[in-house]
Amino acid sequence: MSMTDPIADLLTRIRNGLQADHEYVDVPASKFKTEIVRILREQGYIEGYSVEPAKVGEVLRIRLRYTEHRQPVISGIERVSTPGRREYVGASEIPKVLGGMGTAILSTSKGVMTGHEARREGVGGEVVAKVW
């Protein structure tokens, strides 16, 4: 599973880490995953992240974020596009997540960005994930 869809694996590890009340989760690093995590941090869904050397390659260490009552800040995170079923949208069809309360993460020709940024830039792309 993890090898066929590293992004689904990333989202699952974040989801599981939050359920288990962990402070950090570690995932094998990649440029693409780092870009996704950068957006999660910019949007306030996680505390932060770092890329650290590992036995093989690098590991992306993600610091999870909770409310003061130890509730996960992320209530839902899901994979949209998959290797077997890619979801591409034009700039005018970018999905709104939870009526705009959530965030769509898109991979576009101008890089990885939120649905909001993609709409502003007038670019479509692949809908990687949704977070709320």
Per-residue confidence at 3, pLDDT binned at 50, 70, 90? low
pTM for this prediction: 0.95
Helix locations, the chain, DSSP H:
6-19, 31-42, 115-121
- DSSP, collapsed to helix, strand or coil, labels residue 132 as coil
Per-residue confidence at 1, pLDDT binned at 50, 70, 90? very low
% pLDDT > 90, the chain: 96
CA pair distance 14, 6, nearest whole angstrom: 12
Does the structure show a pLDDT above 60 at 2?
no
